[in-house]
């Protein structure tokens, strides 16, 4: 274990910290990552593995597109599963289709590709009307869809751990697992195992920023968003690596919500599924390489996370996903709670805490999408502090 100062010390081995360590190495810097756990177990392994590019808007769209390139470089270097699989947004009513058509008109057919009902249903493995498959609804209520080709997929359980393993093997890099950071001052990170020195220090502890630096976290109004998730067996016939988004997704991501037709969609969803809006649902799912599906999610905001998973919330989500897939019910293999940092003040907290000490937390549910873009901007010197 080296005691010489590294060029960069990163606190936190989630995807934001690891993306920065990866880019630091690419810039020829030495880097030490300090992580309190023995392997990544935070938000970065609990999500959908969806780098959600096409549903972003404005600067986040630029950042997501930049991030996409970093993800592909990291996957090639560290050898983890990443697919340029895109996202499929399923439309099951005219109001849903209208939002997709408006986005298509806005962005163009290259990045928003409208899909027919039959093709959308086929991607989900729903047989087209007239061709019965036991246990599966036909294309039925699917009226169309849109394919967003820029979205990427990774396996969230594998990507951060594989990247961490790769980083630890590089000359000039070290990861100190099981080492809790207790304080930071210029040039020194204080830990449960003694000081770690670095010329620059980057604190990437996600929603736990308030444990280390309560003042900037409170000033940015950082909260914990908790989400119910499950892994289920995929129905027969389902085979796509694309992320699958639905109406409630269109009510959450900026690319859709900025369309004028989104207001009518909100009214429609409020009319037929108010309980989904009440739990902050984003009904979506992604496939893992082993053929199972990650399904979710709900959104509840709090300063501290209660440990209890509400079965009603899980049931609502599972039933909604089953309905999109055209099956009566889904076989649940695992359930868990994910937690990420959120703030109503904006999607990023970038704060220079002292000379050479910066805190960086993604305060919205897009940290997988933005991580490598943020790292690219950090080393290009173009990531500006967010207003206090």
Helix axes 367-380, 58-78, angle to 10 degrees: 90
Cβ 94 to ligand FAD shortest distance, Å: 27
Q: How far is the CB of 139 from ligand FAD (least distance, A)?
A: 26
- Give the residue among 149, 193, 158, 174 at the shortest CA–CA distance from 15: 158
Closest alpha carbon to 69 in 375, 383, 334: 375
Q: Which is closer to ligand FAD, CB of 95 or CB of 316?
A: 316
Smaller CB distance to ligand FAD: residue 15 or 247? 15
Q: Which is nearer to ligand FAD, 95 or 205 (CB)?
A: 205
CB of residue 253 vs ligand FAD: minimum separation in angstroms?
10
Shortest reach from residue 72's CB to ligand FAD, in Å: 15
What residues line the site for ligand FAD (CB under 6 A)?
A: 11-17, 34-37, 40, 42-44, 46-48, 50, 52, 180-181, 204-206, 208, 212, 227, 229, 296-297, 338-340, 361-362, 365-369
CA distance 377 to 170: 22
Distance CA 355, CA 337 (A): 36
What would the 3-class secondary structure string for 88-151 be? EEEECCHHHHHHHHHHHHHHCCCCCEEECHHHHHHHCCCCCCCCCECCECCCCCCCEEEEECCC
First to last CA, the chain: 37
CB of 209 to ligand FAD, least distance (A): 8
Buried b (16+ CB within 10 A) or exposed e, 53-65: bbbbbeebbebbb
Residue closer to ligand FAD by CB (options 137, 318) is: 318
Give whichever of 235 and 367 is closer to ligand FAD, judged by the CB atom.
367
Nearer to ligand FAD, 190 or 264 (CB): 190
What is the nearest approach in angstroms of ligand FAD to the Cβ of residue 13?
Answer: 5
Asked whether the beta carbons of 123 and 131 are under 8 A apart, the reply is no
């Amino acid at each position: 274990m080296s005691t010489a100062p590294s060029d960069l010390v990163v606190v936190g081995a989630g995807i934001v910290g690891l993306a920065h360590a990866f880019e630091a190495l690419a810039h020829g810097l030495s880097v030490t990552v300090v992580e309190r756990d023995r392997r990544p177990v935070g938000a970065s392994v609990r999500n959908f593995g969806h780098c959600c590019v096409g549903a972003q808007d404005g600067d986040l769209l630029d950042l997501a597109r930049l991030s996409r390139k970093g993800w592909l470089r990291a996957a090639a270097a560290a050898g983890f599963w990443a697919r340029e699989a895109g996202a499929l947004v399923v439309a099951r009513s005219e109001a849903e289709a209208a939002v997709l058509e408006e986005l298509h008109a806005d962005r163009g057919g290259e990045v928003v590709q409208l899909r027919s009902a039959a093709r959308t249903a086929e991607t989900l493995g729903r047989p087209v009307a007239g061709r019965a498959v036991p246990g599966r609804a036909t294309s039925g209520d699917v009226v169309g869809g849109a394919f967003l080709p820029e979205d990427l997929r990774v396996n969230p359980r594998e990507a951060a751990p594989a990247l961490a393993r790769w980083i630890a093997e590089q000359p000039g890099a070290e990861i100190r697992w099981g080492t809790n950071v207790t304080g930071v001052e210029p040039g020194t990170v204080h830990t449960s195992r003694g000081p770690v020195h670095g010329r620059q220090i980057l604190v990437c502890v996600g929603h736990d920023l308030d444990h280390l630096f309560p003042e900037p976290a409170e000033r940015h109004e950082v909260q914990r968003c908790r989400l119910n998730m499950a892994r289920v067996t995929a129905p027969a016939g389902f085979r796509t690596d694309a992320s699958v988004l639905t109406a409630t997704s269109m009510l959450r991501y900026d690319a859709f919500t900025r369309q004028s037709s989104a207001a009518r969609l909100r009214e429609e969803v409020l009319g037929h599924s108010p309980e989904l809006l009440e739990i902050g649902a984003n009904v979506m799912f992604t496939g893992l390489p082993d053929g199972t599906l990650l399904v979710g999610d709900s959104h509840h905001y709090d300063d501290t996370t209660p440990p209890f998973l509400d079965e009603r919330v899980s049931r609502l989500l599972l039933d909604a996903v089953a309905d999109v897939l055209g099956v009566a019910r889904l076989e649940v293999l695992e359930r868990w709670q994910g937690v990420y940092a959120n703030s109503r003040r904006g999607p990023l907290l970038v704060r220079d805490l002292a000379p050479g000490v910066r805190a960086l937390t993604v305060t919205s549910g897009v940290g997988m999408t933005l991580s490598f873009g943020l790292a690219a901007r950090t080393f290009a010197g173009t990531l500006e502090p967010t207003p206090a």
